[in-house]
Amino acid sequence: MRSDVLKKGDETLPHRALLRAVGIGDDELEKPFIGIANSFNELIPGHIHLNELVTEVKRGIREAGGVPFEWGVPGICDGIAMHVSMRHSLPSREHIADNVELMVISHSLDAWVGVTNCDKITPGMLMAAGRLDVPAIILTGGPMKAGRDGDEVYDLSSGFEAVGAMKAGRMSVEEANRIERHACPGPGSCSGMFTANSMACMAEALGMSLSGCATALAVSDKKREQAYLSGKRIVDLLSEDLRPSMIMTPEAFQNAVMVDMAIGGSTNVALHLPAISRELGIDLTMDQFDEISKTTPNICHISPSGSHHMEDLDRAGGIPAVLNRLADRLKTARTMDGRDIVEIARSYPVKDNSVIRELKDPFFPEGGLAILKGNMAVDSVIKQIAVSEEMMLHRGPARVFHTEEGVLSAIENSEIIEGDVVVINFMGPAGAPGMPEMLSPTAAIIGAGFTKVALVTDGRFSGATRGPCVGHVNPEAYAGGVIGLIQDGDIIEIDIGNRGLNVELTDDELERRRMKMVPPHRELTPFLRSYRDHVLRRC
């Protein structure tokens, strides 16, 4: 065991003395040391209950013969941070991976459990698992219930869209207040297929969580049982020397992308899965995403794509039931619960065909995401299942902004009209920096009643975003991408069916503009300055 370096030998006597100071006795020095990376905090609904789950994880570890050691991991609530442009959110993913690396390596832990939830915390922990390649298991904290007020059903996106509706005079203050008080009823990650729950589903589809973990509600007895079983299982994983590199294989990533396309997950999955795969030396490309999308029907319409919520998906059988639909297409891959993913798929039938449709009767014939290319992008991402049929092909004049606030002001002042293509540039990893989400402007567009306004950005979107919203435009404006050269009135065509994103400008005109392009000034904290430097070095 890795921890033997501390437990045995004369040279580490003082190290053992320090361990005894925290309560480790002779018996514990004979047992494996199991870390628990706990992202509990009192700011994020998805995390306020994690201490209760950690208690169960510790119980499972101790009963299986291990010694648990808990430490804290930071977490940012994207929904709360969004109002201050959330530039720290995506960079926190790398910070979380670094946190786990620091603690596991520095303290010679034999294995670890990631107790997590929400947008950057789960992918950060999965990145750490791939990087460290010591036995690990991911316990996601579960979704919250959908909000209800009589017959009305709400979630977080209802709140963001209410803002746009109020500003457009389409909703009263009293009605908006009712949504505020009911949209998020308690603990758990927000109740739709937003980024937090999308990544919980990816952790399970990759084989890094126990079956059923992604959709079990935060407040359920099932979630507490999963916590206990995860604690027991991590000790078994150590004895079996079953490591993340044996689980998160190229085949596992292809399976995960297939599941994502079937369930209609957040566009952020296209950021996080490649980042996780890179930690394992696996190249997961946007072309692979699109190839899988073209052959994988979308069989779930969870909010914001439809009226169902995570509790409905759980009731219908959760990710194991989705896997059941895909069983004949899955590639063989091991999982942390000891079974092959295909074995799991064949063990869990679908319980509600209206929530998880048959492949021959999908909500949409392709997957949830589409990768668009053209003279504006080497690649970009759109959640095509959240786009109306009439907007699958759209051509219109650009309205260019460098900030979200500029868009919100333009909407409030009736400066945006139907047919426009709103462009928010210099919002990429280096340009913002930090690649913030654009949920506020996209929700404001929906809330204001627009049906024929598109949005294109080198930033990204919340999983709660719906409508013709193209994000992750690559290369970003700060790196010289064409999106930074667009001016008001330029004609942009978005052709989702043919995977096209183009601006009607000649190469010569684009080059003339590039010579004059000056990035907007951004005030940077030391952390953001360091992150921008990191991004530019990687480019």
CB burial class (10 A; 0-12, 13-18, 19+) of residue 468?
buried
Close Cβ partners of 106 (under 8 Å, ≥ 6 residues apart): none
> Distance between CA atoms of 292 and 301, rounded to whole angstroms?
18
**Distance linking the first and last C-alpha atoms of the chain:** 39
Nearest CA to 265 out of 461, 94, 474, 475 is that of 461
The backbone region for 140, taken as left when phi is positive above 0, alpha when psi lies in -120 to 50, beta otherwise, is beta
> Hey, which residues are catalytic here?
462
**Which residue type is seen at 423?**
V
Adjacent-strand bridge partners of 153: 148
Per-residue CA distances from 132 to 102, 125, 280, 507, 509 (Å): 10, 10, 9, 45, 48
Hey, is 390 helix, strand or coil? helix
Distance from chain centroid for Cα 377: 22
Adjacent-strand bridge partners of 147: 154
The DSSP string of 180-249 is HHHS--SSSB-SSSSHHHHHHHHHHHTT-S-TTTTTS-TTSHHHHHHHHHHHHHHHHHHHHT--HHHHS-
Backbone CA torsion sign across 205, 117, 210, 278: positive
Phi, psi of 133 (to 5 degrees): 55, 40
Close Cβ partners of 84 (under 8 Å, ≥ 6 residues apart): none
Count of residues making up the chain: 539
> Distance between CA atoms of 101 and 105, rounded to whole angstroms?
6
> Distance between CA atoms of 312 and 105, rounded to whole angstroms?
40
Angle between helices 121-132 and 89-106 (to 10 degrees): 40
Half-sphere exposure of 371 (CA within 13 A, CB side): 17
> Distance between CA atoms of 144 and 52, rounded to whole angstroms?
15
> Distance between CA atoms of 469 and 387, rounded to whole angstroms?
8
Beta strands in 376-467 (DSSP E): 377-383, 393-401, 421-424, 454-457
